[in-house]
């Protein structure tokens, strides 16, 4: 009996020793985790979280790329080359939109919008390429075909009504640079990359530090760019907590355009409603807001030809002058 008790006590002591070792190991792990959390919390205090919001096509992603150029190392050669297929796709998509648009408009006005007979075959060929999922690399021959079609009077008339057809803002820039884009050794420039249009899906993030005098503070900024189309907005919500500031982008040039995803909805009205909705979110009660009125260069060319009052929001607006004075007045 005595020997059994002693054996059991020995076993108990052995188990206690084993448990104590396990406890010590667990305590050490807990302490390490707590230490890391404390370090990360301290680091987080220096990180300012910025959120880029806005409707689709508001120019958010261009601002995102500009910040990468200004505050990071910019784009290396590999990154620049990765935009070749995007830029070529933009070219094919644009010429398809214009060709298909001219055919549609010609149903009511053949004299103005019907493609010249010598360019119809080119148009059909390019429209088929533009409808593919995989676009060929832009060659000199294809660039020449696109240039020929672009210069067709009917295409130019169609381009003048681009606001009705979802023609991208990069259209004129890329059409004016076709031969350079088609060069066998083509590497996109920074400007090409800024014009390149890729619809943002999901969330893209970059981290950067300020420059100049502000750099001494040791602050770091994390900028989040999210898809602006309606079906992408449900992905925003989880980003709303702990935001230092919201940068809301509104394209001032889009007062006469409709949404890509809903052609019955004016883009400016959608932007207004989205801005109202974002401002009412409880988590933004103490958040700073910056409103970026974007695409002024397009606006100043457009507003002298397309009155501001075509938009429901500005239906009572009356032009007061002409030229630069009217541009400034309409902008205000």
Catalytic residues: 57, 62, 197, 225, 229
Q: How far apart are CA 277 and CA 136, in angstroms?
A: 42
Residues β-bridged to residue 53: 248
Q: How far apart are CA 130 and CA 127, in angstroms?
A: 5
Per DSSP bridges, beta strands 220-226 and 47-54 are parallel
Residue closest to 60 by CA, chosen among 244, 309, 232 = 232
CA angle 225, 230, 233 (to 5 degrees): 45
Query: What secondary structure letter does DSSP report for 137?
Result: P
Cα–Cα distances in angstroms (integers) from residue 205 to residues 24, 115, 208, 221, 231, in the given order:
40, 44, 10, 10, 19
């Amino acid at each position: 009996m005595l020997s059994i008790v002693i054996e059991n006590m020995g076993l108990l002591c052995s188990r206690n020793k084993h448990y104590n070792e396990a406890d010590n190991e667990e305590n050490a792990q807990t302490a390490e985790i707590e230490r890391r959390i404390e370090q990360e919390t301290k680091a987080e205090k220096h990180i300012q979280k910025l959120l880029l919001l806005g409707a689709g096509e508001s120019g958010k992603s261009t601002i995102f790329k500009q910040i990468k150029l200004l505050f990071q190392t910019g784009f290396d050669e590999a990154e620049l080359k990765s935009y070749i297929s995007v830029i070529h796709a933009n070219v094919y998509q644009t010429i398809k939109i214009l060709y298909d648009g001219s055919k549609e408009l010609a149903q009511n006005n053949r004299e103005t919008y019907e493609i010249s007979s010598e360019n119809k075959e080119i148009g059909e060929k390019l429209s088929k390429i533009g409808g593919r999922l995989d676009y060929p690399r832009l060659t000199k021959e294809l660039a020449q075909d696109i240039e020929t079609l672009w210069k067709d009077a009917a295409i130019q008339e169609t381009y003048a009504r681009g606001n009705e057809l979802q023609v991208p803002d990069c259209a004129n820039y890329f059409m004016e640079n076709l031969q350079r884009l088609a060069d066998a050794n083509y590497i996109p420039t920074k400007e090409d990359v800024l014009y390149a249009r890729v619809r943002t899906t999901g969330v893209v993030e970059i981290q950067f530090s300020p420059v100049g005098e502000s750099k001494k503070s040791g602050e770091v900024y994390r900028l989040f760019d999210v898809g602006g189309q309606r079906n992408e907005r449900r992905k925003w919500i989880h980003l709303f907590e702990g935001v230092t500031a919201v940068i809301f982008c509104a394209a001032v040039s889009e007062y006469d355009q409709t949404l890509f995803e809903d052609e019955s909805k004016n883009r400016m009205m959608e932007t207004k409603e989205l801005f109202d909705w974002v401002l009412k979110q409880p988590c933004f009660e103490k958040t700073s807001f910056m409103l970026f009125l974007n695409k002024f260069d397009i606006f100043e060319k457009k507003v002298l030809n397309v009155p501001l009052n075509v938009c429901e929001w500005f239906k009572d607006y009356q032009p007061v002058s002409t030229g630069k004075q009217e541009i400034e007045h309409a902008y205000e």
